[in-house]
Amino acid sequence: MATDKSKRIEYVSDDRQSDLSQQFSNLIEVHHIEDDESYKTLAISVFDHWLNDSEARDLLAIDKSESSDEPRRNSALNGLRSIMAQSTECLSYEIVERNGHEYPMFYRFNTSQDLCKYFSQSPYGVSAKFHFKIVLPKLSALYFEGHDFTNYLYYKDDNHIRRIRSWIADAGLHVLES
C-alpha cells in the first residue's frame, strides 16, 4: 500500500482497489453526475423541504454579521459526518486518467483527524471541486457534499436505509424527496 504523507492518505491495496472498483462499477458516471439507474438517491439537508426561489434568496444569503446561520447548518451536516465516521468505514477516491481511460483510485486516511479534516462541510459557496466525496463500502453507498446545505447519498441496498435514516435524524437533518 502506497502512502502519500503530504496528503496523509494511504491508497488501499491492489486487491482492494479491484474489489472496490467492482463494487462501485458505476462510480465514474455518478461522479460526473450522469444518470445511473443502478443507484437510488437521498438528498440530505438542514432544511425540511426544497426551498423555493424566495426562500433560497432569504435563507441562503450568507450574512457577514454574527447572525449568520451558516455555522449551525454546517454543524448539523458535520454531525452526520461524525456519526458515519464512527459507525462505518469511510474511504475516498480520486479519478485518475491513463491511456484515455478514467478509473477511481480508492484511499483511506491515516488518522481520524485527517478523515475529519477532509470529511467536513465546506464553507458556503466553495467550488464543488473542493467538496468531499466518500465511499461507504459496508453500506454499498456513496456520500457527496452538495450545495446549499444539502448533501447526497447514492445507495443500492435498501437494507441499510433504515440505519442511515436513523443517523440523519440523530444529526437533526432531513431527507428531501424529489
What is the per-residue pLDDT across 125-178, written as a single tens digit (0 to 9) for each?
Answer: 777 778 889 999 999 999 999 888 899 999 988 999 999 999 999 999 999 976
Tell me the one-letter amino acid at 31. Answer: H
Q: What is the pTM of this model?
A: 0.86
Rounded to an integer, the average pLDDT of 55-71 is: 69
Q: Name the pLDDT band for 34 (thresholds 50, 70, 90).
A: low
Q: Where are the alpha helices (DSSP H) in the chain?
A: 14-23, 27-31, 53-60, 70-87, 112-118, 161-170
Regarding predicted confidence, which is higher, 106 or 149?
Answer: 106
- CB count in 10 Å sphere of residue 132: 18
What's the pLDDT at 46? 93
**pLDDT reading at 104 higher than 80:** yes
- How far is C-alpha 49 from the chain's CA centre? 20
Span of 43-47, 56-60, 101-105, 109-113 with lowest mean pLDDT: 56-60
Percentage of residues of the chain with pLDDT beyond 90: 51
Provide the percentage of residues in the chain whose pLDDT is more than 70.
90
